[in-house]
């Protein structure tokens, strides 16, 4: 394998034998393949790809698509039924919650245990111990058995260890979804630092936004097979369309309402959608004649940098028509002493053509990577028009004309 290849997967397959009863398992052992007492489940089928050093690959797909199975095969915690996987470099992985920890050991003892497994000497661990503990932020609990830790404390300590050993390859299987918002923000900063140093990263997440922000390539799995691999934006768009088509409720309208982030240090408190000053959740708009405003009230930890407010406009079939954010527009929001503020964006004489459009708003970290909170559908806008123009948007234009003949160059 070439020295610039970090991971190569060749026709990877993983199948499981499912037995309805324990007795069937015994029967299968006795007949030695002459008869089947099991059903076969294929978790992964013919997955092949190469990942070069320094690349960041994002894995996306629904629950049960085979993402975790693929990561475990790469880490070596599972053996493939067929196919091969080759890995070059020191691998640090965050897979199942608490994996690799001895629950009876203290946090301190687990640091030395895990870091030594990852290839560090005692002297190297001693030199990094203080920074590992400081990054994990679990205080005096470092001397307590990890079986007394919350899920968030598990994640913080595991992530701190994995990223402090200077891995050549870092594998993360949605572990950061358990931690609180402040730690998630800090973790993404650490991931970006490793990325800048040239580490190869496999990142599994349900957040399409994070996949696009962090990754150089994306791989979409569904039912154990590769549906698409390529540029994150292209893969994410295809995957989002797939989700929208698969999950769209009757009538084609997404559900309205606020979807809170389970953890985090910033929250969307309220939203308001209005047309020419009239607010509501479902409004009519005359194309190019009326203005639309979206107001977002938020609360954030005043000790953290001011968050970013972003929005997306979706068509009824789930396509992203337009987006904007305070970060992209160079706007720094103001907050009161409690970290609360309101951001309002106005679109004058909106040139969208006839159809239904849905508005989503998001609250992000100051670098635009970590999503603190999101309200994917705060309301819908029904656009109408007097003209016969076709398409999605009416572009600003002008006509020039004269008599005579067009002379081509």
pLDDT in tens, 220-253: 999 999 999 998 888 887 887 787 666 544 444 4
Domain ranges of the chain: 5-244, 257-384
Residue 17's pLDDT is 84
CATH fold group of domain 5-244: Rossmann fold (3.40.50)
Q: Is the dihedral of CA 276, 282, 286, 288 positive or negative?
A: positive
pLDDT < 50 stretches in the chain: 248-263
Which CATH architecture group holds 257-384?
Distorted Sandwich (2.70)
Report how far residue 171's alpha carbon sits from residue 321's, in angstroms, rounded to the nearest whole number: 33
The edge-to-edge listing of strands for the beta sheet with 169-173 is: 91-94, 169-173, 200-204, 56-60, 217-222, 225-230
Residues 372-381 as b or e (16 or more Cβ within 10 Å = b): bbbbbbbbbb
Residue 98's pLDDT is 60
To 10 degrees, the CA torsion angle through 387, 391, 396, 401? -70
CA angle 223, 227, 229 (to 5 degrees): 135
In order of 107, 138, 144, 199, the CA distances from 141 in angstroms are: 7, 6, 5, 30
Q: Indicate if 257-384 has the same CATH topology as 5-244.
A: no
CA-closest candidate to residue 51, choices 205, 198, 206, 210? 198
Residue 344's pLDDT is 96
Q: Is 8 helix (H, G, I), strand (E, B) or coil?
A: strand
In order of 262, 280, 306, 310, the CA distances from 298 in angstroms are: 16, 19, 11, 12
Strand 82-87 to strand 355-364: parallel, antiparallel, or no bridges (unpaired)?
unpaired
Residue 208, token pair as written in the block? 């399409």
Residue 246's pLDDT is 62
Residues forming a β-bridge with 325? 310
Residue 406's pLDDT is 86
């Amino acid at each position: 394998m070439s020295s610039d290849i970090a991971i190569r997967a060749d026709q990877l397959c993983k199948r499981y034998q499912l037995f309805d009863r324990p007795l069937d398992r015994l029967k299968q052992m006795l007949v030695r393949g002459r008869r089947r007492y099991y059903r076969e489940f294929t978790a992964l089928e013919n997955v092949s790809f190469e990942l070069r050093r320094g690349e960041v690959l994002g894995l996306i797909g629904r629950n049960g698509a085979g993402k975790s199975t693929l990561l475990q095969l790469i880490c070596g915690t599972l053996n493939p039924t067929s196919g091969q996987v080759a890995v070059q470099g020191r691998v640090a992985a965050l897979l199942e919650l608490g994996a690799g920890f001895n629950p009876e050991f203290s946090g301190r003892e687990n640091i030395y245990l895990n870091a030594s497994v990852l290839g560090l000497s005692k002297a190297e661990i001693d030199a990094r111990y203080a920074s590992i503990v400081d990054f994990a932020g679990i205080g005096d609990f470092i001397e307590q058995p990890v079986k007394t830790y919350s899920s968030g404390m598990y994640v913080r300590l595991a992530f701190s260890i994995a990223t402090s050993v200077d891995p050549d390859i870092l594998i993360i299987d949605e572990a950061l979804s358990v931690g609180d918002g402040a730690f998630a923000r800090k973790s993404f900063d650490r991931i970006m630092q490793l990325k800048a140093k040239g580490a190869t990263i496999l990142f599994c997440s349900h957040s399409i936004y994070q996949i696009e922000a962090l990754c150089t390539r994306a791989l979409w799995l569904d039912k154990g097979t590769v549906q698409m691999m390529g540029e994150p934006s292209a893969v994410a768009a295809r995957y989002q369309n797939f989700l929208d088509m698969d999950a769209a409720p009757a009538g084609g309208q997404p559900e309205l309402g606020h979807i809170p982030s389970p953890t985090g240090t910033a929250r969307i408190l309220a939203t308001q959608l209005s047309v020419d000053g009239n607010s509501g959740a479902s409004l009519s708009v005359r194309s190019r004649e009326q203005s639309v405003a979206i107001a977002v009230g938020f609360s954030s930890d005043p000790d953290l940098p001011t968050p970013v407010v972003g929005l997306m406009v979706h068509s009824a079939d789930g396509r992203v028509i337009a987006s904007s954010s305070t970060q992209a527009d160079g706007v720094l929001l103001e907050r009161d002493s409690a970290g609360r503020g309101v951001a309002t964006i106005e679109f004058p004489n909106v040139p969208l053509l006839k159809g239904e459009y849905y508005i989503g708003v998001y609250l992000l970290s100051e670098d635009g990577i970590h999503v603190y909170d999101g309200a994917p559908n705060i309301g819908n806008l029904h656009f109408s028009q007097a003209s016969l123009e076709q398409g999605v948007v009416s572009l600003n234009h002008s006509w020039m004309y004269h008599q005579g003949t067009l002379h081509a160059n």
